[in-house]
Structure 1
Amino acid sequence: MARIFIVFGTRPEAIKMAPVVKAFVADPAFETIVCVTGQHRSMLDQALELFDIKPDIDLDIMQPGQTLANVTTATLNGLDTLFSENRPDAVLVHGDTTTAMAAALAAFYRQIPVGHVEAGLRTGNLAAPWPEEMNRRFIDMVSRWLFAPTETSAAALQNEGVEDERITVTGNTVIDALLSVSEELRHDPDRTALLDKKFAFLDQQKRLIVVTGHRRENFDGGLERMCHALAQLATRGDVEIVYPVHLNENVQRAASAVLEDTSGIHLIDPQDYLPFVYLMDRADLLISDSGGIQEEAPSLGKPVLVTRDVTERPEAITAGTCRLVGTCTETIVAEAEKLLDDPDEYARVSAITNPYGDGHAAPRIVEAMKNAI
């Protein structure tokens, strides 16, 4: 059996790696060890519970007011000891978090081969997103196996000189996760009824806009401008806005300063993945700077306005399921109203096929690793 360490530390990583964990655990060719860092403690635990994943190792590094340097050094020190004691045949990391970067570095120092799930995403701008663009470039540089979600991300790697034999196009694992959770909701009326009750405050006669925002590059005024756009959209009277506000104090401050007690806008706590999928499915429109939402919403037929100036996920922009609108208040309002007020345009965007995969990314990753090892 090949010993595989799967390392992650945040909720988005947990969601996207859950199908990978389950696929490896089910394959007798591998001894799978799941290690979490706890970079995002409570939100990580929510995802682990939903997907019924019990980590073998929990570094539990989260500290109040932690910096990126704190996360990096705690992860690096913790994993260096573990890798020395367990000597895995390979380490799998996901995406572009500080946990993923530090785990790849720890493996590199121990000369353990790394597999990078969701490789090849690029904006070309180290400041946007920051520090994620640096993280993913570094991880791709030291990884032996690069699991690119799309042909576009594979081409980005090839343009940087990565050999073809190191690249496998798999689709995005978040689609695997989304489809499994959506299927669960469709076949569990009791759970759906509980969610209907949880969100009974929503007016079924109004169109629903679901919002998220957390990117660091938007902390310097961008979030406030987005919030002003939401306040303006709420005055239409025919829409209702739900904004699960990220726990980061910069996000909390911007949302409360602009939107607190605004009619038609509900500022709620961050949601577990299951209720958030429920909200996405009920939504008419999403406004977000989240990478995952750019990938997930098209599978549900939901348009997304991306509140960023650049994105490492150009496939959805090219396909037309997402629109890059930045954080200009007037632009966000104008683009939202185009979709809300033009039924033909809305129907056209909603019908576009999701460019991010078919829900079978995890089995492709397992098969590629089996062939390689």
Structure 2
Amino acid sequence: MIVIPIGTKAQLIKMAPVIKALEAQGLPFDFILTGQHQETMEDLIAGFDLPQPAYSMAPIGEASSKSKLLKWLLQIFWKNLGPNTPFRHNEYRFCLVHGDTLSTLVASILARFRGIQVVHIEAGLRSKSILHPFPEELTRLAVSRMSSIFYCSGKNATSNVRALKPKAHIVDTGENTLLDSVRTALSKGKDSPAIDASPYCVASIHRFENITNRDRFLFIVNNIINISKNIKVYFVLHSATKHQLIKYGLYNRLSNEKGIKITPRMGYFDFIRLISAGKFLISDGGSNQEECSYLDIPCLLMRQKTERTEGLGINVYLSNYEQKMIDTFVEKYLQLPRAASAQLERFNSFPSKAIAQDLELLSTVSSR
């Protein structure tokens, strides 16, 4: 039996095709929620046609501030360390954790405590800097220490895991499972009408290292406002970002800018449609970097370092918070016509299917 704890929207997007692949292989599993995020979860479950979660490890909420995050952490440990919990009694053999969130870390700790094998998906990504991104880099290192099975998206990630655990079960899936998610999104949205016929770009800023640093956040917001003087900006509003905008007195300022359209956080398929038709994306998300690399969408990454190599030096620009780099990117892609999105047929790997097939073999071996 497999357990799949999911805490955030990004995790669910990347794990949805894995869940579908496990269904196709006929492998028994429990898809469960950790309770870390609530926003858009139901939409994603319906959009990807996933089974409803078997249960939640903690009350479902939205950990959009430090205090709410601490409350969630206390709840999830309190409710799952005792003897009378589903996580204890369901005799799971494998716990599939994804990425580098706090849900990933917590689920790995609880699985090890219960004697369940930790399976790390999207394993081996490294920025080689503990502070960038923080705490994600530390989370990845900690989860790698607790895991015994690794699914890595590419040679660099695979090499990083082999250097740490040379005797572990390691599989290179070629690409990230996000590729399968993008395939689904494009298929679902192919007959949908255009969101906006006029030129625009999209901004999506949500990382705690950006939004909780007042000076850095102000720098990013000022740049987005300046960009909006030349092109319409769809500003996709995450709940944590809204909280910090209000805290710093920036929300009304953004709302009053004629060139900025504040857009509530949307479903994944709508988001892919939105960025696919835009001139470029301004983001601090690693998943957005990967999506842009698959779709050939220019992306300005508001980070100092990234653990991913996808698109770097091609269509993804690492800003390093340098004004000259930002200005160069914007000037270039304001002038260039928006190219049609790349055809995903050039990718011949199906990482979610590879993971499910390998887990089926492992399950067969472990049941003997």
Task: Please indicate the TM-score interval, normalised by the length of the shorter structure.
Answer: 0.7 to 0.9
The code of the aligned residue for 1:307 comes to M
Is 1:166 the counterpart of 2:164? The answer is: no
Cα distance in 2 for residues equivalent to 1:78 and 1:108: 16
Q: How does 1:194-273 map to 2 (within 5 A)?
A: 196=194, 199=195, 202=196, 204-205=197-198, 207-219=199-211, 220=213, 221-236=215-230, 239-248=231-240, 249-251=243-245, 253=247, 256=251, 258-273=253-268
The code of the aligned residue for 2:316 comes to C
CA apart distance, 1:55: 0.8
What TM-score, normalized by structure 2, do the two folds share? 0.87
| Matched residue, 1:371 | 361
Cα distance in 1 for residues equivalent to 2:307 and 2:208: 15
Cα distance in 1 for residues equivalent to 2:75 and 2:39: 18
| Matched residue, 2:6 | 8
Q: Is the 8 A contact 2:88 2:114 kept in 1?
A: yes
Cα distance in 2 for residues equivalent to 1:251 and 1:150: 37
What whole-Å deviation, never above 9, does each CA across 1:89-122 have from its counterpart, x for those lacking one? 1110111111111000001111210111100111
Give the stretch that moved more between structures: 52-61 or 132-141.
52-61
CA apart distance, 1:71: 2.9
Structure 1: gaps spanning 5 or more residues = none
Cα distance in 1 for residues equivalent to 2:343 and 2:330: 18
What whole-Å deviation, never above 9, does each CA across 1:22-72 have from its counterpart, x for those lacking one? 1112222x2111111221112322322221221111233426754443333
Is 1:147 the counterpart of 2:137? The answer is: no
CA apart distance, 1:252: 5.2
CA apart distance, 1:312: 0.8
Give the stretch that moved more between structures: 53-62 or 173-182.
53-62
| Alignment counterpart, residue 37 of structure 2, candidates 20, 35, 40 | 40
| Matched residue, 1:62 | 61
The code of the aligned residue for 1:84 comes to R
SS in 2 for 1:312: coil
CA apart distance, 1:77: 3.8
- How many residues end up aligned between the 2 structures? 350
| Matched residue, 2:76 | 75
Compared CA separation, residues 297 and 63, structure 1 to 2 (3 A): closer
The code of the aligned residue for 2:73 comes to T
Cα distance in 2 for residues equivalent to 1:69 and 1:137: 21
Q: How does 1:8-157 map to 2 (within 5 A)?
A: 8-28=6-26, 30-53=27-50, 54-59=52-57, 60-62=59-61, 66-80=67-81, 81-157=85-161
Give the stretch that moved more between structures: 3-12 or 220-229.
220-229
Compared CA separation, residues 121 and 97, structure 1 to 2 (3 A): same
SS in 2 for 1:241: strand
| Matched residue, 1:314 | 309
Cα distance in 1 for residues equivalent to 2:317 and 2:54: 40
What whole-Å deviation, never above 9, does each CA across 1:2-30 have from its counterpart, x for those lacking one? x00011111111111100111112222x2
The code of the aligned residue for 2:34 comes to T
Cα distance in 1 for residues equivalent to 2:326 and 2:88: 50
CA apart distance, 1:88: 0.3
Q: Is the 8 A contact 2:35 2:72 kept in 1?
A: no
Cα distance in 2 for residues equivalent to 1:329 and 1:269: 28
Cα distance in 2 for residues equivalent to 1:149 and 1:78: 33
Give the stretch that moved more between structures: 301-310 or 247-256.
247-256
Cα distance in 2 for residues equivalent to 1:21 and 1:143: 20
The code of the aligned residue for 2:44 comes to A
Q: Is the 8 A contact 1:4 1:90 kept in 2?
A: yes
Q: Is the 8 A contact 1:295 1:316 kept in 2?
A: yes
Is 1:336 the counterpart of 2:330? The answer is: yes
| Matched residue, 2:366 | none
CA apart distance, 1:298: 2.2
Q: Is the 8 A contact 2:37 2:62 kept in 1?
A: no
What whole-Å deviation, never above 9, does each CA across 1:259-309 have from its counterpart, x for those lacking one? 221122111111111211110111110110011110112222211110000
Compared CA separation, residues 252 and 148, structure 1 to 2 (3 A): farther
Q: Once the two structures are aligned, what percentage of the paired residues are identical?
A: 26
CA apart distance, 1:358: 4.8
